[in-house]
């Protein structure tokens, strides 16, 4: 493949083939197998037995499904709102300089270094109603017996909190880094024009952070749909089914009740919704058009 005289030596599609093939083999092909499994009855041992649409029909009779879907949607939306509301201002604030901010930023990053298992185990200890932090803080916030994680009403919000605790550092960093790259000239020009701090934030910072908001949001939304490590280890979907979000429901159906066929149906459902969400968000916001935000400066 020698130098081509036209259109600037663009790489052929061959460059993408190794990555695509590798990804296809270990991620896409198994997904296809899972689609196949959704039409079979299989407990994990022996061979899958074709069962047609029986598993899909189970979608209409599963008493747990609507709650799991509702919980997942709620978790996704609440997490996105909560985390963005925290991360954006924090990230912008930390983009400034000063020792205090540097120290804060240093500590903020630590949860990101911990694995989900580590975080879940730590919080399980904290939330012990008799010996953990919950026993001390509970009475202060109106939960007399420190029963956060055992209360069906509160357990969901515990999950929201722990997941936020885990992922806020990451998104704060995204916003912090992106804010640091906003050229100072824009702010100076605005100040000369007499714009106050709030106006600068809404007219300069926010628009310049558009790409970051989209990246961060896509990661948050799609991540919340499929992530369940923390929920599994911390509440196991309980108390009762108060935190049994959809991906956890899928896991429990597959690996506790050993109904791999139906679990595969739920997996396919998650995939379809997650993909659609990802594609819609990126298409609507023009993210996939490969433009540089720096053009025109």
Partner 1 sequence: MTGTIGRRVASVAAVTVVGLTLAACGSSGPSATNSKAASGAGSVWVLTDASLNPVQQTSIDAFNKGATAKFTLSNYGNDPYKQKLQTAIGSPNQPDIFYNWGGGNLAQYVDAGQVADLTATLNANPGFRAKFIPSVLDVGKIHGKVYGLPMQGVQPVMMFANADVLKKAGIDTMAITWDGLLADVGKLKAAGVTPIALAGSQSWTELMWMEYLVDRIGGPEKFQAIVAGKAGAWSDPAVVGALTKVQDLVSAGAFGSNYSAVGYDNQGTQALIAGDKAGYELMGSWEVSSLNGSFPAFAKSAALEWGKFPTVAGGTGDPASLVGNPSNYYSVTQKSPNKAAAMKYLVDTLTSDTYAQGLMGIGQVPAITGLEKKVKTGTFAGFNAFTYALVGTAPSFTQSWDQALTAATSEKLLTNLQKIFLKEMTPRQFVAAMGS
Partner 2 sequence: MSTTITRPPASGHGPGSARRGRPGRLARGRFNLVGGLSATVWFVIVSVPLYFLVTTSLRTSSQYLLAGPLSIPKNLSFANYRLVADSNFGVYFWNTLLVTVGCVAIVLVLALPAAYAMVRSQSKFVRRSFSLVLAGLAIPAQATIIPVYLMITKLHLYDTLIAIILPTAAFAIPLAVLVLTSSLRDVPNELYEAMSIDGASPFRTFLTLAVPLSRGGITTVGIFTAMGAWNGFLFPLVLTQSSSRRVLTLGLWTFQSQFGVNVPAICAAVTLSLLPLLILYLVGRRQLLAGLTAGFGR
Which positions lie near partner 1, rule CB under 8 A?
4, 10, 12-14, 17, 20-21, 24-25, 29, 43-46, 63, 124-125, 127-131, 134, 144-152, 235-241, 252, 255-259
Q: How far is the CB of 202 from partner 1 (least distance, A)?
A: 43
Where are the alpha helices (H) located in 24-64, listed in sequence order? 29-37, 54-61
Q: Which helix (H) or strand (E) holds 85?
A: helix 65-95
Distance set, CA 85 to CA 82, 178, 179, 183 (Å): 5, 16, 16, 24
Select the binding partner of residue 174 from partner 1, partner 2, none (C-beta < 5 to 8 A, by kind): partner 2
Q: Mapping DSSP to helix (H, G, I), strand (E, B) and coil, where does residue 40 land? A: strand
Nearest alpha carbon to residue 177 among 220, 222, 212, 127: 212
Nearer to partner 1, 15 or 109 (CB): 15
Query: Where do runs of H (alpha helix) occur along 194-258?
Result: 197-200, 206-208, 210-226, 229-234, 246-255
95-124 residues near partner 2, rule: CB under 8 A: 95-98, 100-101, 104-118, 121-123
Of these partners, partner 1, partner 2, none, which one is at the site of residue 145 (CB under 5 to 8 Å by kind)? partner 1
Contacting range for partner 2; rule: CB under 8 A; set: 55-63, 68-76, 149-157, 244-252: 244-252
- With binding defined as CB under 8 A, does residue 263 bind partner 2? yes
* DSSP SS3 for 41: strand
Select the residue interacting with partner 2 from 69, 73, 86, 154 (CB under 8 A). Answer: 86
> Which of 55, 68, 79, 212 is close enough to bind partner 2 by CB under 8 A?
212
262 touching partner 2, by CB under 8 A: no
**Partner interacting with residue 58 (select from partner 2, partner 1, none; CB below 5-8 Å by kind):** none
Nearer to partner 2, 36 or 152 (CB): 36
Would you say 208 and 88 are in contact if contact means Cβ atoms under 8 Å apart? no
218 is a site residue for partner 2 (CB under 8 A)? yes
In the bound state with partner 1, the residue whose beta carbon lies nearer, of 96 and 139, is 139
The per-residue b/e assignment along 262-296, b for 16 or more CB within 10 angstroms, e otherwise, is bbbbbbbbbeebbeeeeeebeeebeeeeeeeeeee
> Cβ(217)–Cβ(280) under 8 Å?
no
């Amino acid at each position: 493949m020698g130098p081509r005289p036209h259109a600037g030596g663009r790489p052929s599609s061959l460059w993408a083939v190794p990555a695509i093939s590798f990804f296809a083999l270990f991620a896409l092909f198994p997904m296809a197998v899972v689609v196949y499994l959704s039409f079979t009855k299989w407990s994990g041992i022996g061979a899958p037995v074709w069962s047609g649409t029986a598993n899909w029909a189970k979608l209409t009779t599963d008493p747990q499904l609507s709650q799991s879907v509702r919980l997942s949607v709620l978790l996704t939306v609440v997490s996105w709102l909560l985390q963005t509301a925290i991360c954006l201002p924090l990230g912008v604030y930390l983009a400034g300089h000063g020792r205090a901010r540097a120290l804060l930023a240093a500590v903020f990053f630590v949860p990101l270094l911990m694995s989900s298992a580590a975080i879940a185990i730590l919080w399980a200890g904290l939330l012990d109603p008799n010996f953990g932090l919950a026993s001390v803080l509970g009475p202060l916030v109106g939960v007399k017996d420190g029963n956060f994680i055992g209360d069906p009403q509160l357990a969901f919000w515990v999950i929201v909190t722990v997941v936020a605790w885990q992922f806020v550092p990451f998104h704060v960093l995204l916003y912090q880094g992106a804010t640091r790259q906003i050229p100072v000239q824009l702010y100076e020009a605005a100040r000369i024009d007499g714009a106050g701090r709030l106006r600068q934030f809404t007219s300069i910072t926010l628009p310049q952070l558009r790409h970051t908001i989209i990246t961060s949001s896509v990661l948050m939304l799609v991540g919340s749909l499929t992530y369940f490590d923390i929920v599994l280890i911390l509440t196991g979907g309980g108390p009762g089914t108060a935190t049994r979000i959809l991906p956890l429901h899928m896991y429990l159906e597959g690996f506790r009740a050993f109904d791999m066929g139906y679990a595969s149906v739920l997996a396919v459902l998650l995939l379809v919704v997650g993909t659609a969400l990802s594609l819609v968000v990126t298409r609507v916001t023009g993210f996939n058009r490969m433009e540089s935000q720096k053009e025109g400066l």
